[in-house]
Amino acid sequence: MNGKTAPESGPEPKTDTSAVLEVDACGLFCPEPVMLLHNRIRDLAGGGQLRIIATDPSTTRDIPKFCLYLGHELLEQQRRDGKYSYLIRKKADEA
């Protein structure tokens, strides 16, 4: 042996929700970002995640209300460089 150890393997990659659907609503104004969100979230399976990026400040009010009203989970909300980012988990599919 030369005294070197084999590199450790990293953690197992996540397979359940590792893919996040990205939606760009920059340049759109109320009600367009929420309409786009509504149309795109329908394509996701229950528990799927979607990130929407917008420039309209009204999304700070509209997107949290959208999630609350429809039962989706708002996981993250950020503002940076004049853009608003929201990470949303779709509610579980109903049987």
Question: What is the model's pLDDT at position 8?
Answer: 45
Q: Which two tokens stand for residue 32?
A: 């367009």
Residues 73 and 31: their CA atoms lie apart, in Å, by 20
- Catalytic status, residue 30: yes
20-89: CATH class: alpha beta
Peptide linkage before 31 cis (omega within 30 of 0): yes
pLDDT average, residue stretch 11-36: 80
Per-domain residue ranges for the chain? 20-89
Cα 4 to chain centroid distance, Å, stands at 42
50-71 confidence digits (pLDDT tens):
999 999 999 999 999 999 999 9
User: What pLDDT does 93 receive?
Assistant: 82
pLDDT at 13 over 80: no
Residue of 20, 21, 30, 53 marked active site:
30
Separation in Å, CA 83 to CA 28, 54, 57, 80: 12, 6, 8, 5
